[in-house]
């Protein structure tokens, strides 16, 4: 009995979370409703640039990420009670590498690349946080 109690109180408890496959740029949550995602985004302070209730598509206004200062927006679409959640961002600064440069206003799709930090990871984590608040089954895709 003492051994059992010892094991229960002193054995570390590990929680494992599902890591997205590299290259994932869409989070699927099922089941979910258009009303749920609309209310959740509004509660989180997002405003909508497009809200199409007949096609069940939401697009938020651009928002500035606090640490990186990148502008990003969230896209949400409901199809057959599955929410497709994705995001786009602008780096907002120009980079030049060997004569090749980027357009700082070009939209990039947020995606999971497996990096510990970086623009793609920061914005992908924003939609991951939203996905976990919906309490549905989460899966990942590259579309």
Domain residue limits at 100 = 20-141
Residue 92 lies in a domain: yes
CA distance 105 to 8: 54
What is the structure's pLDDT at 14? 35
The CATH number of whichever domain residue 58 belongs to comes to 3.30.530
Residue 80 lies in a domain: yes
- 80-92 pLDDT, tens digit per residue, is 999 999 999 987 6
Q: Which residues are CB-neighbours of 72 under 8 A, at least 6 positions away? A: 62, 63, 65, 87, 88, 89, 90, 110, 123, 126
Residue 12 lies in a domain: no
- 21-74 pLDDT, tens digit per residue, is 999 999 999 999 999 999 999 999 999 999 999 999 999 999 999 888 889 999
Closest CA to 83 of 15, 135, 24: 135
Quote the number of domains for the chain. Answer: 1
The better pLDDT of the pair 93, 26 is held by 26
What is the structure's pLDDT at 143? 85
Query: pTM of this prediction?
Result: 0.79
59 is written with which tokens?
Answer: 């697009």
Residue 15 lies in a domain: no
CA distance 80 to 101: 41
């Amino acid at each position: 009995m003492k051994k059992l109690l010892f094991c229960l109180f002193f054995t570390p408890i590990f929680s494992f979370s599902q890591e997205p496959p590299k290259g994932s740029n869409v989070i699927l949550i099922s089941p979910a409703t258009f009303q749920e995602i609309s209310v959740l985004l509004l509660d989180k302070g997002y405003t909508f640039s497009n809200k199409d209730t007949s096609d069940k598509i939401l697009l938020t206004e651009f928002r500035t990420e606090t640490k990186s200062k990148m502008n990003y927006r969230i896209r949400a679409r409901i199809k057959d009670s599955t929410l497709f959640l994705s995001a786009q961002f602008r780096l907002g600064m120009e980079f030049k590498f060997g004569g090749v440069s980027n357009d700082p206003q070009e939209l990039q799709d947020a995606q999971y690349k497996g990096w510990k930090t970086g623009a793609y990871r920061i914005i992908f984590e924003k939609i991951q946080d939203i996905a976990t608040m919906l309490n549905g089954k989460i899966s990942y895709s590259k579309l």
